[in-house]
Amino acid sequence: MEGIERLLPSLIIDSNYRIVAANQTAKNMFGEIIGKECYKVLYNLETPCYQRGIKCPVYGKESGFDIVDLEFESYLRGYGVIPWGGMFYESVVNITNINNIRSSFIDNLTQLYNRKFMLNFLEKTHNLWKRYKQPYTLLFIDLDNLKEINDNYGHTAGDEALIKVALCIRAHTRSSDTAARWGGDEFLMVLPNTSIEYGEKVALRIIKCVSGIQFFTKLSVSIGASQPSDNDKSYSEVLARADKALYQAKQSGKSKVAVLKADGLSYLIDIKEESA
């Protein structure tokens, strides 16, 4: 959590919008805030955020990361539901230069989140799994044959292929999901509160979307999927399984989904078989 946790004041809020707990960053920033309404402390508003069109975990039971613009100020925030009946969290920081802050967590080419942001998010997501058994599915996505595209059509074409794949990923990302460019030709998706079966369906939809892209050459992606288990000490073990599954998908002929479970069970799904 180094980075996000130290940067963002984080609060726990009850169903009446009152702050019931805060991390040390929040206490240092705001002083004595326990019992005060979150919208007054964080944004200096007189009414709850949803009345200003701002997504609110208390009101809408939503989770996510976004940027809030209020008059001459902008805020980067994370928010969501905690599985303790009627409890919610919100993390927020005032942004003075939105372009600079965006570059710290957004991939400039694809406009998805970047690897640094995803590492922080993965740790937060895995901690929710360890504490409250909130499941999540990881999808490791690789654009097949990017080197050949670069060699045959140039790096500009390779960049365009990555952008088009990112659009397919974004088109199949729910508001609660998070997608990032992991690096090079690889992408990573985190699907919270999701069964592996649903993750497989999302992966197949992405493969189908990419296969339909009009381009200089046929585009395809391979995808590896996995979920956490009680024996995983950190998200890195889940990530390693998804990475290994991705390798199996690519070795099997590409444009396929491979699933690797914690018990060692693995299987492949071919989009052609799925459509048959």
CB 170 within 8 A of CB 179: yes
Give per-residue burial for 32-43: e unless 16+ CB within 10 Å, then b: ebeebbbbebbb
Q: Out of 177, 185, 232, 243, which one is annotated catalytic?
A: 185
- Is-contact 77 68, C-beta < 8 A? yes
- Residue 185 is among the residues annotated as catalytic for this protein: yes
Q: Scanning the structure block, which residue is given the tokens 């999302």?
A: 202
**What is the C-alpha to C-alpha distance for residues 34 and 19, in angstroms, rounded to an integer?**
5
User: Are the CB atoms for 115 and 174 separated by under 8 Å?
Assistant: no
Beta strands 221-226 and 256-260, pairing class = parallel
User: Which ranges of 87-137 does DSSP label H, i.e. alpha helix?
Assistant: 98-103, 115-132
Active site residues: 185
